[in-house]
């Protein structure tokens, strides 16, 4: 019989712990497909720090490191600088990358570390049960913003790709989502480009994936997709914020 | 004996690290250890290595964690407030069974404290830095030569026992210049790092570097395994210098720069007919408890001399286990006890013994 669909080889054949409707599963698959297509599994080291994806070391077949909350870009720096011929990626959530690990994110970016960052932005802390993230939207109710997020109290959300696109070391900063097949295909293309950039030695590539958290948003998976479209995409427009391939060389 | 080179303690650590095959240094400037980073910045590019200045102590220790995880020899260094910031990463290294050399050139605290030498981080180094149920191998040099030789020992210990190793120095040892012989540095055989996350290449199963065990029984088992290794370290790697303790009525216990002051005081007291001796722990963990217990069984008094308000004295008391009185003398906040002060303290004790 002809095989028309199978699990990527770089994805471990184990059950995920992710909640029903969470988009981590799709993004994991896209990363694994990319690793398969580029033929780099044996050459790749993945780093997943604290957050919902902390068990990612169980889900990818390449060598994996579990890092402290926020520190994955620093750990990745240590791996990549000592093994420049290897492919190194981090897989981080919004609290990890844009709150506790902001310094590591910004400085790995400005140093132009030749690594790939997959950034899951679901506007909430998932693993701890739905608290405010640095990317929680204005007015959004979370466990620690029970009356909504207010600009004068909690400040405004961080737009990570826009911020990082100002840094010279960044080769690619792109925001994608996985709410429909077309966007999944686009996300895949960006993730693959982010890995290819590293193989080509172009510098740091970050792909921000707008994601859902049905459990902590208190919505069904279908409602969560619609909430993402109605609320997240307007605040976090999809697109390529920086691409060294299209930038004019002075 | 080879040719001796006049060097600062901090520079001796850096040179010895490179001689040990450490080609990766991650650091952040802080007085009084910055010479290590500056020396590395000059030397590493010339030997094909890397000296990377991180954005913080936190980033530096995590860069070292990544480098160590992928199987290379690496190190970081700092001084007291910076070690506090590195504590998280050190705990993750211990929990992930990663070797790494961490140098603490101590200065006075707490808080920002001062920049003069201190031994106030003894508790931090020996009591589970970061968070608990972990040990570092802690080496305490007392000369620039030992800053070099213990650096080499630290890398070997880390690789053999898969644990982070700390050199607990102080601002005086870091800044002072003494002749160093780099030709007689120690070297041990170390096992291959088959656990490293450096790409499986399709030739082995994937490796995972991790300190997370969500099942309590699995976590307990991992800690018990590690503590078995710690027991081996205790049995094989406890080091000390015994200076005239055999017939001593008063035995001083001191490490690092303080031990040199104490040795002068012991010599002066011996000349005046007071039977003093010195036990210098060269490893603070494992601590030479058995040796001290044996000494406590035949001496009349033990005196712990430290540049702190008294931290190691707790370990001396535990070792003595009530067999003889144990007291403390020290200066703190960056003050160094003078030989005269220590002699006066010994004489006071001697008078009380008669």
Q: What is the pLDDT of residue A1?
A: 83
Q: Assess if residue A209 is contained within a domain.
A: yes
* Contact: A77, B63; criterion CB under 8 Å: yes
Q: Assess if residue A248 is contained within a domain.
A: no
Which CATH superfamily groups domain B4-189+212-237?
Thiamin diphosphate (ThDP)-binding fold, Pyr/PP domains (3.40.50.970)
Architecture of domain B241-353: 3-Layer(aba) Sandwich (3.40)
> E-assigned strands of B171-282?
177-181, 208-209, 240-243, 250-253, 276-281
| Whether A45 contacts chain B with CB within 8 A | yes
* Residues A62/A31, Cβ–Cβ less than 8 Å: no
* Contact: A103, B55; criterion CB under 8 Å: yes
CA distance A222 to chain B (A): 31
Residue spans per domain, chain B: 4-189+212-237, 241-353
How many domains does chain A fold into? 1
Provide, as residue numbers in chain A, all residues whose Cβ is less than 8 Å from the Cβ of B96: 66
Residue A250 has pLDDT above 60, yes or no: no
Residue A59 has pLDDT above 90, yes or no: yes
Provide, as residue numbers in chain B, all residues whose Cβ is less than 8 Å from the Cβ of A61: 206
Which residue(s) pair with B74 in the sheet? B24
B4-189+212-237 and B241-353: identical CATH topology:
yes
Strands B240-243 and B276-281: antiparallel
Q: Of B156, B179, B129, whose CA–CA distance to B12 is shortest? A: B179
Domain of residue A196: give its range: 24-243
Provide, as residue numbers in chain B, all residues whose Cβ is less than 8 Å from the Cβ of A56: none
> E-assigned strands of chain B?
4-8, 24-27, 50-53, 74-78, 100-106, 137-139, 164-170, 177-181, 208-209, 240-243, 250-253, 276-281, 283-285, 301-306, 326-330
**pTM value > 0.90:** yes
Q: What is the pLDDT of residue A247?
A: 63
* Contact: B63, A67; criterion CB under 8 Å: no
Q: Assess if residue A4 is contained within a domain.
A: no
- Nearest-by-Cβ selection for B88 from A43, A68, A79: A68
- Nearest-by-Cβ selection for B199 from A45, A75, A81: A45
Provide, as residue numbers in chain A, all residues whose Cβ is less than 8 Å from the Cβ of B62: 67-68, 71, 74-75, 78, 104
- Nearest-by-Cβ selection for B209 from A55, A65, A107: A65
Residue B213 to residue B264: CA distance in whole angstroms: 51
Q: Assess if residue A249 is contained within a domain.
A: no
- CATH classification at residue A72: 3.40.50.970
* Contact: A82, B88; criterion CB under 8 Å: no
Residue B207 to residue B209: CA distance in whole angstroms: 7
* Contact: A45, B54; criterion CB under 8 Å: no
CA-to-CA dists, residue A91 to A49, A75, A128, A209, B267, angstroms = 7, 12, 18, 11, 61
Residue A249 has pLDDT above 70, yes or no: no
* Contact: A79, B69; criterion CB under 8 Å: yes
Three-state DSSP at B169 gives strand
Residues of chain B scoring pLDDT < 70: 1-2
CA distance A240 to chain B (A): 27
Mean pLDDT of chain A: 96
* Contact: B58, A74; criterion CB under 8 Å: yes
Express each pLDDT in B221-235 by its tens digit: 999 999 999 999 999
Q: Assess if residue A181 is contained within a domain.
A: yes
* Residues A64/B197, Cβ–Cβ less than 8 Å: yes
| CB neighbours of residue A102 within 10 Å | 16
Provide, as residue numbers in chain B, all residues whose Cβ is less than 8 Å from the Cβ of A64: 197, 206-210
Residues 15-34 on B with a CB inside 8 Å of A are 24, 26
Provide, as residue numbers in chain B, all residues whose Cβ is less than 8 Å from the Cβ of A103: 55-56, 58-59
Provide, as residue numbers in chain A, all residues whose Cβ is less than 8 Å from the Cβ of B206: 60-64
Q: Which two tokens stand for residue B132?
A: 């608990």
**Cis previous bond, B286, omega within 30:** yes
Q: Assess if residue A16 is contained within a domain.
A: no
Express each pLDDT in A184-237 by its tens digit: 999 999 999 999 999 999 999 999 999 999 999 999 999 999 999 999 999 999
Q: What is the pLDDT of residue B354?
A: 76
| Whether A65 contacts chain B with CB within 8 A | yes
Residue A173 has pLDDT above 50, yes or no: yes
| CB neighbours of residue A224 within 10 Å | 23
Residue B346 to residue A174: CA distance in whole angstroms: 70
Provide, as residue numbers in chain A, all residues whose Cβ is less than 8 Å from the Cβ of B74: 78, 82
What interhelical angle do B80-95 and B57-69 show, nearest 10? 30
- Nearest-by-Cβ selection for B198 from A41, A61, A83: A83
* Residues B212/B92, Cβ–Cβ less than 8 Å: no
């Amino acid at each position: 019989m002809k095989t028309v669909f199978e699990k990527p080889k770089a994805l471990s054949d184990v059950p995920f712990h992710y909640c029903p409707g969470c988009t981590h599963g799709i993004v994991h698959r896209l990363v694994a497909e990319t690793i398969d297509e580029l033929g780099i599994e044996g050459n790749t080291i993945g780093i997943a720090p604290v957050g919902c994806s902390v068990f990612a070391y169980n889900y990818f077949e390449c060598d994996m490191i579990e890092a402290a909350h926020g520190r994955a870009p620093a750990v990745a720096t240590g791996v990549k600088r000592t093994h420049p011929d290897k492919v190194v990626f981090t897989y981080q959530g919004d609290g990890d990358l844009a709150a506790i690990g902001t310094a590591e994110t910004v400085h790995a970016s400005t140093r132009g570390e030749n690594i790939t960052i997959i950034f899951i932005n679901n506007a909430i802390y998932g693993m701890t049960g739905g608290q405010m993230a640095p990317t929680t939207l204005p007015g959004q109710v979370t466990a620690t913003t029970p009356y909504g997020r207010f600009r004068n109290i909690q400040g405004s959300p961080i737009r990570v790709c826009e911020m990082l696109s100002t840094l010279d070391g960044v080769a690619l900063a792109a925001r994608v989502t996985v709410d429909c097949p077309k966007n999944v295909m686009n996300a895949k293309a960006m993730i693959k480009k982010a890995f290819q950039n590293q193989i080509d030695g172009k510098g740091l590539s970050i792909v921000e994936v707008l994601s859902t958290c049905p459990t902590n948003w208190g919505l069904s998976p279908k409602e969560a997709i619609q909430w993402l479209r109605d609320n997240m995409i307007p605040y976090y427009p999809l697109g390529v914020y920086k691409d060294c391939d299209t930038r004019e060389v002075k | 004996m080879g040719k001796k080179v006049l060097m600062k303690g901090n520079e001796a650590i850096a040179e010895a690290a490179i001689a040990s095959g450490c080609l990766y240094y991650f650091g952040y400037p802080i007085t009084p250890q910055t010479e290590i980073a500056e020396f590395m910045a000059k030397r590493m590019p010339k030997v094909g290595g890397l000296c990377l200045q991180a954005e913080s102590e936190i980033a530096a220790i995590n860069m070292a964690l990544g480098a160590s995880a992928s199987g290379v020899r690496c190190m970081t260094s700092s001084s007291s407030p910076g070690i506090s910031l590195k504590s998280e990463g050190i705990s993750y290294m211990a929990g992930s069974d990663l070797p790494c050399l961490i140098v603490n050139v101590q200065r006075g605290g707490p808080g920002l404290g001062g920049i003069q030498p201190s031994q106030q981080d003894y508790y931090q180094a020996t009591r589970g830095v970061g968070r608990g149920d972990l040990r570092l191998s802690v080496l305490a040099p007392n000369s620039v030569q030992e800053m070099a030789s213990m650096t080499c020992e630290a890398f070997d210990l880390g690789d053999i026992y898969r644990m982070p190793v700390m050199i607990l120095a102080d601002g005086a040892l870091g800044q002072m210049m003494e002749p160093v012989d780099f030709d007689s540095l120690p070297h041990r055989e170390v096992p291959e790092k088959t656990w490293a996350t450096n790409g499986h290449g399709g030739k082995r199963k994937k490796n995972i570097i991790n300190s997370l065990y969500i099942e309590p029984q699995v976590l307990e088992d991992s800690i018990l395994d590690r503590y078995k290794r710690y027991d081996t370290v205790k049995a094989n790697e406890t080091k000390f210098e015994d200076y005239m303790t055999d017939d001593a009525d008063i035995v001083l216990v001191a490490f690092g720069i303080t031990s040199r002051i104490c040795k002068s005081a012991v010599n002066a007291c011996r000349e005046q007919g007071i039977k003093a001796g010195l036990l210098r722990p060269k490893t603070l963990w494992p601590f030479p408890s058995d040796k001290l217990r044996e000494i406590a069984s035949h001496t009349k008094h033990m005196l712990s001399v430290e540049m702190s308000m008294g931290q190691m004295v707790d370990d001396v008391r535990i070792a003595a286990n009530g067999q003889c009185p144990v007291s403390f003398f020290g200066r703190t906040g960056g003050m160094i006890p003078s030989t005269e002060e220590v002699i006066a303290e010994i004489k006071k004790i001697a008078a009380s013994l008669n």
